[in-house]
Amino acid sequence: MEEMRYIAVIFWSIMLGQVAGFIGGALNQQTYNTNYSIIVSIVFAIIFSVIPLILDSSVKESNNEKNA
């Protein structure tokens, strides 16, 4: 069931990335590129999905060292 969290993060990051890409392109008077927005959105979704896992494991390791 935890896999659904990652699917939801990727889905919403793509949706919000498309909106941000469209608005950013309009503000900079550039053309809207769907493929570029999807790639950037997925990269950020993966980064933001991995960071909590890394931080959680480092907190567990530091707690184990304090208890030992």
What's the pLDDT at 65? Answer: 63
Task: Go through the chain and tell me how many residues it has.
Answer: 68
pTM summary value = 0.68
Q: What is the pLDDT of residues 7-41, one digit of tens each?
A: 888 888 889 999 999 999 999 999 988 999 999 99
Q: Give CB contacts under 8 A, 24+ apart, made by 58-62.
A: none
Exposed, middle or buried, 57 (CB in 10 Å: 0-12/13-18/19+)?
A: exposed
